[in-house]
Amino acid sequence: MGTALVYHEDMTATRLLWDDPECEIERPERLTAALDRLRQRGLEQRCLRLSAREASKEELGLVHSPEYVSLVRKTQVLGEEELQALSGQFDAIYFHPSTFHCARLAAGAGLQLVDAVLTGAVQNGLALVRPPGHHSQRAAANGFCVFNNVAIAAAHAKQKHGLHRILIVDWDVHHGQGIQYLFEDDPSVLYFSWHRYEHGRFWPFLRESDADAVGRGQGLGFTVNLPWNQVGMGNADYVAAFLHLLLPLAFEFDPELVLVSAGFDSAIGDPEGQMQATPECFAHLTHLLQVLAGGRVCAMLECPGVHPECPCCPSPVLEEPAAARPHESLVREEALTALGKLLYLLDGMLDGQVNSGIAATPASAAAATLDVAIQRGLSHGAQRLLCVALGQLDRPPDLAHDGRTLWLNIGGKEAAALSMFHVATPLPVMTGGFLSCILGLVLPLAYGFQPDLVLVALGPGHGLQGPHAALLAAMLRGLAGGRVLALLEEDSTPQLAGILARVLRGEAPPSLGPSSVASPEDVQALMYLRGQLEPQWKMLQVRLIAEGPLPWGPALPQRSVGRAGQVSAENQLQCRRPAARLLPAPPPVVPSSPGGLKSAKVGAFTPQK
């Protein structure tokens, strides 16, 4: 189905006509630079190109007052002095004779993108638009924003396509207060925003940008603000916010569509944002969102930043290749044939000929085949190998404890952290427990480990349903540049093999169905492992403080407030609290896969006084 790219060159027409240092950074080059980079990387030609149309008066009226739309329309015939006088009535805004046309194109681009995605013409897409929109309110321009592009798209999706649950993720460095105001009493829209806040001392200087602004009326609990109280937030902070806060809520909300207010002033190199997240980080964030809503993700440009090229993390020195161990179970012809196919596929992945794949093996040879695959990967170019083994599969006894292999067994008899690189946990019995395990343990460890090869082995008695296996494989695809090899037993159902093949090709995993609370046993196992592993794994050193009643709760079990990584027991999933705060943690290391995520510090958030 592919990806749509929506754009129109007329959106570069508006520009500042007078001297205004506050507004001079909003200029046409911010849009053309983004398009030029897409063309340089050959990405534009890989997308379905759509030319933006103008939003109609009725479509603008979905969120804006008729009087305000009429006011903006009149700017087409105003002189420079009149435009400057009108601009002065709003905060950080300028009008131009082309503003109305450009703003209608920006809103219309979002509508076209949503229609293309929801009708199945494409799977996802990006709207390159200008002017931006997330600060715009019902009857007011604000912060360079004229019409609220994302809000109009959300209202359109509800009205025209009959959607009931829409997730809006706003990763711009400024709070999108316009979106918040428009949907704060609407439980059909879950709005999540992180933003530079500094206790209200950063624009837009609003009290309602703080974490305790959670919506009102029927929308209580459907606004989630994560205000950063210091600059310098990096890859680890952003990934941790997704894993520990956004995604647990998003899975429970179960959106039918994801809209992204994609402002890149929250990335490294932007003088206003002063954050440290690399461009590659946003690829990982986007990938994590694509497991939601059947992969229906629409991103709309807010404020693009200027980003320097970022070097990848240094790689550890490779050891001498290890010799493959003999295995009696591989003597049989069918086992050797299956092993040969697996090694052929694995070599192709390591050589860059293919990105991912599935291999089948006789059940009796599953453990031996996995052992050989690990040794082959480590001796043929993989520097760090992540193995997620499900079912009755034990870690090879003579696998070196050199930090190059992270072994995670889901399906063990009991929770055990035999070392920081050898972890076992029982298979959670409830869907809520499975999600908690993936978001609260597997992915934080995986992102901290930075693998360049991932093996997912579904061994004897793995007990995993197809949608659960698909979700696990899909979320792991964001690591190791997508180099994921799934190993199945030959007697696995065709449905399981088919669903894994589809997600490894990039399709979204199917829904897990209605959300459920993790069982007490699952909570206990997860919290025990987090407590054991937290000192060694920085991505686990995150803590939340929850405040007030929520109509729902986070999907991750939590513990007492203390040092990073701990939250009080009364704030567990069953509690109903409205606001969560990320608190400081030491600097974790995050992935060097696609493009190389660098290590970054955590510690943007401080308790409310």
Classified as helix, coil or strand, 64 is coil
Active-site hit among 135, 174, 175, 287 = 135
State the Cα–Cα distance between residues 99 and 82, nearest whole angstrom: 14
State the Cα–Cα distance between residues 227 and 175, nearest whole angstrom: 8
Evaluate the CA torsion angle 425, 427, 433, 437 in order and state its sign.
positive
DSSP notation for 499-545: HHHHHHTTPPPPP--S--PPPHHHHHHHHHHHHHHTTT-GGG---EE
State the Cα–Cα distance between residues 225 and 211, nearest whole angstrom: 5
482: left (phi over 0), alpha (psi -120 to 50) or beta: left
The number of beta carbons lying within 10 Å of the beta carbon of residue 204 is 18
Given a contact cutoff of 8 angstroms between Cβ atoms, the answer to whether 240 and 225 are in contact is no
Q: How many alpha carbons fall within 13 Å on the CB side of residue 135?
A: 24
Nearest to 520 by CA among 444, 574, 463: 574
Please give the order of strands across the beta sheet that includes 357-361: 357-361, 484-489, 453-458, 385-390, 405-410, 422-425, 416-419
Residue with the two structure tokens 């067994």: 409
**237's tokens:** 């902070």
Backbone angles phi, psi at 89, to 5 degrees: -80, -10
240's enclosing H/E stretch is helix 235-241
Residue with the two structure tokens 């009087």: 67
> In whole angstroms, what separates CA 214 from the centre of its chain?
21
**199's tokens:** 């206790």
Given a contact cutoff of 8 angstroms between Cβ atoms, the answer to whether 571 and 535 are in contact is no
Catalytic annotation present for 287: no
State the Cα–Cα distance between residues 192 and 170, nearest whole angstrom: 6
236: left (phi over 0), alpha (psi -120 to 50) or beta: alpha
**441's tokens:** 């343990």
User: Hey, what amino acid is at 265?
Assistant: D
Active site residues: 135
